[in-house]
Amino acid sequence: MRFLTAAAAALLLMSCQGDRSPAVIEPKVAPILDAPDAVDIHSYAKPLEARVTHLDLDLAVDFAAKRIGGTATLDIQAKPGVREVVLDDKGLEIEAIVDETGRPLPFKVGPKDENLGAPLTIEMGDKRKIVITYKSAPDAGALQWLTPEQTAGKKHPYLLSQGQSIENRAWIPTQDSPGIRQTWSAHIAVPAELTAVMSAPKWDEPDPTPPPPNMKSFGFRMANPVAPYLIAIAVGDLAFRELGPRTGVWTEPAMLDRAAAELADTEKMVDAAEALYGPYQWGRYDMLVLPPSFPFGGMENPTLTFLTPTFIAGDKSLTSLIAHELAHSWSGNLATNATWADFWLNEGMTTYAERRIVEEIYGPKVAAQQVALGLDAMNKAIEENGGATGPDTRLHIDLKGRHPDDGLTDIAYEKGAAFLRTIETIVGRERFDEWLKGWFERHQFEPVTTSIFLADIREHLVKGDKELEDRLMLDQWVYQPGIPSNIARADPQAFAAVDAAVAAFGAGTLPDAAAWQAWTTDERLRFLNRIDRTQPADRLAALDRAFNLSRAGNNELRFAFLTLVVANRFDPAVPALEEFLTMQGRRKFVRPLITSLAEDKEWGLPIAVRVYARARAGYHPVTTRDLDKLGLLKRGK
Ligand code: BES
Ligand code: ZN
């Protein structure tokens, strides 16, 4: 059924392009959209001319040289008569490009853009299979090479990748655009004592280039066409533990018990998500808990979500992160933003779905509180992005001349989620759920845009109801800045007790110790995020003394308190701040803290310089890329 839909769509596309020759459509080739708003300005590929359909990697991992190298074999589908194909390349060292008979194909690498890398144009003639022999550069932005000292076990090196949004072109020569879905397979040779994992099911097919005795090879195959940013790898001393029939966790042996305990609700979450959004289409849902340098909270790599270890609080209080990454198995991985301008379709839908899963597992009160925290974060993001008229407060954003990650703000996540919740509130949960489930079914394994979203919701939900159309304010939500007047508000009672404590604190009273103990993490976060941003030292000292916040084991709480520490130049917590900034490299935590420190020229800047000099080597390139721009260290390092 799925395959028929994709094939039919591809045929349709061919006819839209006015191509009258009989098209040979292979199974599971996902369509390329041809509308102007589906053109990806962050890729050099010209997929309507020639596009990659399948990618096969045969690679070896060289820790000493910090390189991944070998061959990439690409299957190309092209319009008749098209003789060249353009790929994305960021610093790849290309040794040779040949056709399947081994005959060299001429190629050239175009001028390099700081964000995008360079076009790699290959003259394939009438050939439709090309083999690229290459290596990644030691400074490839997708990859982080950890020394043994930077791991939990301290004995073995570790490699991890982060592809989203446009990093994978630094280690995979392909068309690195979310609108060009590809099936893929890989054989990866690694030092024999290590394990390689990737974002695809295991593949038993023997390695065509068997590794030497001190190396071991791992095979993977993704039979569903996916956006190439979803190809991911990690190599290290890894162990696995099953959590349920189709869920499990990989991590370093020293982390396995704590990780498995924190993730104990995962199987239930998969069941809950399926009941809401239809069958889970990826086989297994495993997770990899990475070393603390992993730059994100989580990354929805298919079949293998990547997770920061900083979500482990010991009490499962930060596992909405799992609900989020799992929800991407529908929003993002099945129906994928065609370009990064429509990133909100990935993240806003996922944030909405995350809270629906949380509601099923932890109950409506917890979900309502997370909705309220989300709306606070949305309002903060509106402020930070120029207020109600700021162009970057639109859901469909303009990224011309910018890096896609400029759009990585809570506008996409929280305004996006608020939009969907508003529709839910207006049409009723039952109707909305039916529509959303249908959306995933209608667009599975396909790229989507904001205009496709609008057309779909009009066809399948609004259905010509003029009065409903007016109430929804759909175009205003997606194309205009600020927040439309019909937004579904937070439940004012969601945090009634905490809000009273916030008011009391404003009047000079510390929260009662027993009350604080009884509060959940979300309630404590509401308190720390809602109290006045300006606090005298004695009040911060009292809070820290009473609730041990600057060294809290819960990293979200610790971050919320350290934000106040920096804003108020609270010297006694600076050692705890420096420790926090050097023990983990999650961008969401380290970027705002180091940026605020750097902006405070008198008090904060020397701390920022000192701590960044120490911490930088432990951060992933995705994190240092932004922080280096602050110019804290000489020679840009
Ligand atoms: N897909 C994102 C991470 C991402 C976005 C990486 C854009 C690179 C570019 C992931 O699903 C995500 O949203 N992670 C969040 C956690 C979530 C609970 C909000 C994070 O890392 O903080
Ligand atoms: Zn996400």
Ligand nearest, relative to CA of residue 165: 1
Give residue-wise pLDDT tens across range 195-205: 999 999 999 99
Ligand nearest, relative to CA of residue 410: 1
Q: Terminus-to-terminus CA distance in the chain, angstroms?
A: 52
Give residue-wise pLDDT tens across range 144-188: 999 999 999 999 999 999 999 999 999 999 999 999 999 999 999
Pairing status of strand 335-337 against strand 446-448? parallel
Query: For ligand 1, what atom is nearest to the CA of residue 405?
Result: 9
Distance between CA atoms of residues 600 and 602, nearest Å: 6
Measure 333 CA to ligand 1 centroid, in angstroms. Answer: 13
Q: How far is CA 633 from CA 363, 429, 584, 610, 627, in A?
A: 48, 52, 19, 9, 10
Ligand 1 binding pocket mutation candidate from 347, 410, 413 (most atoms within 8 A of CB): 347
Confidence of residue 621 (pLDDT cuts 50, 70, 90): very high
Q: Establish whether residue 297 lines the binding site of ligand 1, counting it when its CB lies within 6 angstroms of any ligand atom.
A: yes
Ligand 1 binding pocket mutation candidate from 299, 322, 559 (most atoms within 8 A of CB): 299
Give residue-wise pLDDT tens across range 435-482: 999 999 999 999 999 999 999 999 999 999 999 999 999 999 999 999
CB-based contact 341:397 (threshold 8 Å): yes
Distance between CA atoms of residues 107 and 18, nearest Å: 29
Query: For ligand 1, what atom is nearest to the CA of residue 354?
Result: 18
Evaluate if residue 12 carries a pLDDT over 50: no
Query: For ligand 1, what atom is nearest to the CA of residue 404?
Result: 9
Q: What is the token pair recorded at 496?
A: 């009634």
Give residue-wise pLDDT tens across range 306-346: 999 999 999 999 999 999 999 999 999 999 999 999 999 99
Q: Establish whether residue 248 lines the binding site of ligand 1, counting it when its CB lies within 6 angstroms of any ligand atom.
A: no
Evaluate if residue 265 carries a pLDDT over 50: yes
Ligand 1 binding pocket mutation candidate from 296, 306, 378, 522 (most atoms within 8 A of CB): 296
Query: For ligand 1, what atom is nearest to the CA of residue 324?
Result: 18
- Give me the active site residues, please: 325, 413
CB-based contact 69:159 (threshold 8 Å): no
Q: Establish whether residue 591 lines the binding site of ligand 1, counting it when its CB lies within 6 angstroms of any ligand atom.
A: no
Q: Establish whether residue 347 lines the binding site of ligand 1, counting it when its CB lies within 6 angstroms of any ligand atom.
A: yes
What average pLDDT does the segment 18-29 reach?
50
Nearest CA, atom 20, ligand 1: 297
Evaluate if residue 28 carries a pLDDT over 90: no
Measure 413 CA to ligand 2 centroid, in angstroms. Answer: 8
Please count the CA atoms within 13 angstroms of the CA of 377 that sit on its side-chain side.
21
Q: Establish whether residue 403 lines the binding site of ligand 1, counting it when its CB lies within 6 angstroms of any ligand atom.
A: no
Query: For ligand 1, what atom is nearest to the CA of residue 350?
Result: 11
Ligand nearest, relative to CA of residue 377: 1
Average pLDDT, the chain: 95
Q: Establish whether residue 417 lines the binding site of ligand 1, counting it when its CB lies within 6 angstroms of any ligand atom.
A: no
Q: Establish whether residue 296 lines the binding site of ligand 1, counting it when its CB lies within 6 angstroms of any ligand atom.
A: yes
Give residue-wise pLDDT tens across range 386-430: 999 999 999 999 999 999 999 999 999 999 999 999 999 999 999
Nearest CA, atom 17, ligand 1: 321
Ligand nearest, relative to CA of residue 405: 1
Long-range contacts of 203-207 (CB under 8 A, 24+ apart): 207/58
Nearest CA, atom 16, ligand 1: 297
Task: Report the largest interatomic distance among the alpha carbons of the chain, rounded to a whole angstrom.
Answer: 79
Using CA of residue 408, residue 410, residue 411, residue 415, what is the dihedral sign?
A: positive
How many helical (H) and strand (E) elements, i.e. helices and strands, does the chain have? 21, 20
Q: Establish whether residue 229 lines the binding site of ligand 1, counting it when its CB lies within 6 angstroms of any ligand atom.
A: no
Ligand nearest, relative to CA of residue 299: 1
Q: Establish whether residue 251 lines the binding site of ligand 1, counting it when its CB lies within 6 angstroms of any ligand atom.
A: no
Distance between CA atoms of residues 496 and 476, nearest Å: 32
Confidence of residue 27 (pLDDT cuts 50, 70, 90): low
Q: Establish whether residue 299 lines the binding site of ligand 1, counting it when its CB lies within 6 angstroms of any ligand atom.
A: yes
Q: Establish whether residue 432 lines the binding site of ligand 1, counting it when its CB lies within 6 angstroms of any ligand atom.
A: no
Give residue-wise pLDDT tens across range 570-582: 999 999 999 999 9
